Amino acid sequence: AIIMDGNGRWAQQRGKMRVFGHKAGVNAVRDAVSVASRLGLSALTLFAFSSENWRRPESEVSALMELFIHVLGGEVKKLHKSNIRLRITGERSRFSSRLQDKVAAAEALTANNTGLILNVAANYGGRWDIAQAAQKVVAQGQELTPENLDKAMALAHVPDPDLMIRTG
């Protein structure tokens, strides 16, 4: 798993706008996904946009959302061709309907792929995940146990990461 952090600071240190760093991060993601796929990893999770990121300036958030839409549109066919399954994990309700539609289409296109599972955590936070898992367990009438919570977590479909990288 990779926590993508520091792209904006990287750009600022070079006298550029923060969004330049986010765009440059797309290339790093492309490389990481390619390597993970070639190595035969079962899953790669990219923590791309945390629920706390909504506190950033509106212009930066808008630029990030547009970048997300643009990247989904440009990369999903390549992912599909490479047999990679894309899953977007997080609370989607704050995303524009346009972005929600792109996400749904991208996931649908790659749903039956059998290679690397690429999880992109967007508007994801640990507290959100625990809360949604607890709600799911209770709604199913199950006892609230660590085992039941674990099965209801957003990333329950993939093994726990062997390695966690935080860039920055």
Distance (Å, rounded) from C-alpha 96 to C-alpha 103? 11
Instruction: Work out the number of other CB atoms within 10 angstroms of the CB of residue 40.
Output: 8
Residues 6+ apart with CB under 8 A from 112: 85
First to last CA, the chain: 14
CA distance 59 to 87: 26
> Among candidates 129, 118, 120, 125, which has minimal Cα distance to 153?
129
Catalytic residue among 7, 27, 31, 53: 53
5 catalytic per annotation: yes
Which two structure tokens, joined as six digits, stand for 96? 């524009």
- Supply the residues annotated as catalytic: 5, 53
